Amino acid sequence: MTTEVTFIMVKPDGVQRNLTGEIIRRFEAKGYYLRGLKLKQVERSLAEEHYIDLKSKPFYPGLVDYILSAPVVAMVFSGKNVVTMGRKLIGATNPLASEPGTIRGDLCIDVGRNVIHGSDSVESAQREIGLWFPEGLVEYKPHMLPWIYERM
Ligand code: UDP
Ligand code: MG
């Protein structure tokens, strides 16, 4: 049984538009389960560190301001292949290119208001979870697992 984890964040626009429940619903309905969750007004240093790889991009200052503009919901989901599948559930970075059926394809229009973040690799997930959940994740046994996985 995999213990793969990914970092998912409902961005300020997603929280303000009351899409948090819809986003959680999509991950839970797929079969993934929560290992951490918090509503947080982010401090600048965390937003800058989270997006450090994009520091040289022209959109970086605006991106950091966007993340600081209102609270976000930070989450960790767990399950088989959750990093790659999470990115598929989310859809392409630019919602204009995101397929219908994906979160961005269904719920937003502008790349600078694309409602959700998801880790792009197992290594990014580890780094981001360390940043956002320094207190660690919640350990428990989800009783649905035999109904989601044929073998564990
Ligand atoms: N972004 C933007 N303009 C761009 C590209 C990205 O505002 O031209 C923002 C957008 O919110 C995106 C975030 O920067 O989600 C991080 O970019 P990345 O390439 O990592 O996309 P993601 O991993 O979120 O799909
Ligand atoms: Mg990214």
**pLDDT computed for residue 152 by the predictor:** 79
Is 117 an active-site residue? yes
Phi, psi values for residue 112, rounded to 5°: -85, 5
User: What are the tens digits of pLDDT across the range 74-133?
Assistant: 999 999 999 999 999 999 999 999 999 999 999 999 999 999 999 999 999 999 999 999
Q: pLDDT value at position 3? A: 87
* H helix or E strand, kind and range, residue 77: strand 72-78
Residue 118 pLDDT: 99
Residue 1 has pLDDT above 70, yes or no: no
Q: What is the pLDDT of residue 33?
A: 98
87 is in an annotated binding site: yes
Cα–Cα distance between 50 and 60 in angstroms, integer? Answer: 11
pLDDT, average across residues 32-55: 98
Query: Is this complex's ipTM strictly greater than 0.95?
Result: yes
Residue 93 Cβ < 6 Å to ligand 1: yes
Q: What is the CA(87)–ligand 2 centre distance, in A? A: 10
pLDDT value at residue 7: 99
Is the pLDDT assigned to residue 52 strictly greater than 90? yes
Catalytic residue among 117, 118, 119, 125: 117
Closest ligand 1 atom, residue 87 Cα? 25
Looking up tokens 């959700």 gives 116
Q: Give the pLDDT confidence of 19-41 residue by residue, as tens digits.
A: 999 999 999 999 999 999 999 99
Say which residues have a Cβ less than 8 Å from residue 14's Cβ, sequence separation at least 6: 20, 23, 73, 107, 115, 116
Considering the entire predicted model, what is its pTM? 0.98
d(CA 59, CA 76): 26
pLDDT higher than threshold 70 for residue 2:
no
Helix (H, G, I), strand (E, B) or coil at 33: strand
Q: Measured between alpha carbons, how far is 134 from 129 in angstroms, rounded to an integer?
A: 7
- The atom of ligand 1 lying closest to the CA of 11 is 11
Q: Is 27 annotated as a binding residue?
A: no
